[in-house]
Structures are given as C-alpha cells and as structure tokens.
Amino acid sequence: MKSFNPEFVWFDGKFVKDSEAKVSVMTHAIHYGTSVFEGLRGYWNSKNLYIFRLDDHIKRFRNSGRIYSISLKFTNKEIASAIINLCKKNAVKQSCYIRPFYFVGRYGINLHVTENTPTHTAIVIFPFGDLFNKNGIKTGVSSWRRIHDISTPPLAKMGGNYLNSILATQECKRNGYDEAIMLDQLGNVSEAPGENVFIVRNNKLITPPASSSALEGITKDSVIKIAQDLEYDVIEREITRTELYLADEIFLTGTAAEITPIISVDGKKIGIGKAGNIAKQLRSTYSEIVMGRNEKYSNWITSVY
C-alpha cells in the first residue's frame, strides 16, 4: 500500500497545510521545553481506522499541563473531534501515529508560567509501523537515573522531561543496545526512556509503581487489564535491578512500542533468550483488540470512518 501523505495538520482550531503551521523563534517552548504532548495510534484493519483509547489519552493530555499550570484552550471533545477529522482530512487508511501537543507561545524569557500564559495547540499525524523488533530486543541499564518527583514531575508528559530519556537512549546506543532501562533515585527499576517495564516471575506479572518514577502508561494499564482477564496475577511493586537478571520474561509496553519482549539485559540472557509465552499471548490479544476484532474491549477503540 502506498503510504499516505500527511499534508494537513490541525493548528489552533483549524486544518492547515503542514508548511503553513509556523511559530515564532521566540516561542517559549523552544527555549524552555514548556510543551505537553500525547501519543496515540490509529490501526487500519482494511475496513476502518481505529484509534486506541482516545478519551483516556486526552484526559492525560490535559492533566499533564495542569501540573505545570499550562492551559489547553480546547475542550476534550474538541480535541477528540480534531483528531478524528484530521485522520479523515488526510485520508488515512493505514496504521499511523497521532501526536497532539500544546505549548507556551511567544512569552519572552519569563519563567512565571500561569494558566493565562498564551499557548498554541497542534495535532500531527504520520505513517508508523513497528518501533522495535517484535521478536525481542537487547537492553542495558543506563547510568542516568530517571527524573524524580522531588525535582521534575515524572507523571507529566512534558517535552522538557524527555531530555532525561535522550541521555539514556544515547548511552544505550553507544553501548550497542536497542533500548535502555532506567533506575529510579533509589536504584530500583523505573522504566525505559519511552516505555513501561514488566517482568514475569513464576507466572506473575510485576511492574514498577508510579512511586518508582514510572509514567502511568495507558498501554501499561491496558496490559494489566488484559492479563488479569487472562487470569494472571499482576503486582505493582518496587523491582530491584537484580530481579531483571532473574526474570523469566521481560517486556516493554507503550503506544509506540506496543508490547515488545526483552531478550537480554546487560548482556545477560532473559529466560530462553527469546520472546516468552506470556508476552506473546498478551501481544496477540492486544493486536486483536486494536484491530477491532475483540468485542469485549470494543469500548477501547474509536472508529474514524
């Protein structure tokens, strides 16, 4: 299938050509990282395009800005409508990634950001396939610690927060790994640069809590619900670094990564060194859901056409 050309973006309430969506070089977000973003996936099943957990992403989208008193000037309903109609405007009939974001506009170098500070809101969309090899990836524990609530709120999806993730990603790539695993301030497992982490031990799924600086991931939440419906025990608790090496399986979850098995950590083989059975089972169920082929979870998907 020929890839669609995302000619249009949504910018401050209007559909405009990408080349016409411009901002000043004095945009505050360029200087200080005062931007809020979300990531959603649209899945094409040959008949319709389904957006996964649209309303939940928009709720988190607004809440991230609230932490920093950065205002989203549009209602949740308006953002949802804009996302759906942007897909239509670009005639999207293949799987895609959707990136809504809002940011502080022209505001000088003033650091006193308030709810009344001027903001812009935009939505872009583009073709997107697999972020990682679905057969499994090699990871390394980063020397860079994950940001902590004592300094930078890790539950907010802020542009500036991801400089921390960039450092960890650069380090892991230099060391020959596909992805990093980050520890929190206490040395426990937190998350990957852009994904949540699950380990499997004795058929139990274990994942770090928000107190370990782990983002409250929507894909993570989905996997927890799916796993529980499949009658697996799921535990949110602190995970020591050593437990990574002893895990039967490890996998990442995220909008871009979906469910990605980890086959090694720091050069140590995890389990049998291949995607584990639980990860494969969860991924199979997840794929059915996002493609609109599982009625039980039909409330998680929004049809575009």
Helix (H) or strand (E) holding 269, with range, is: strand 268-269
β-bridge mates for residue 234, sequence order: 205
Q: What is the dihedral of CA 33, 113, 255, 305, to 10 degrees?
A: -120
d(C-alpha 253, C-alpha 248), whole Å? 17
Beta strand pairing status for 204-207 and 233-236? parallel
157 is catalytic: yes
Q: What are the phi and psi torsion angles at 34 (to 5°)? A: -85, 65
Measure the CA–CA gap between 166 and 194, rounded to whole angstroms.
10
Exposure pattern of 171-180 as b/e (b: 16+ CB <10 Å)?
A: bbeeeebbbb
Q: Which residues neighbour 163 within 8 Å (Cβ) at sequence distance 6 or greater? A: 33
Determine which one of 14, 89, 157, 173 is catalytic: 157
Residues annotated as part of the active site? 157
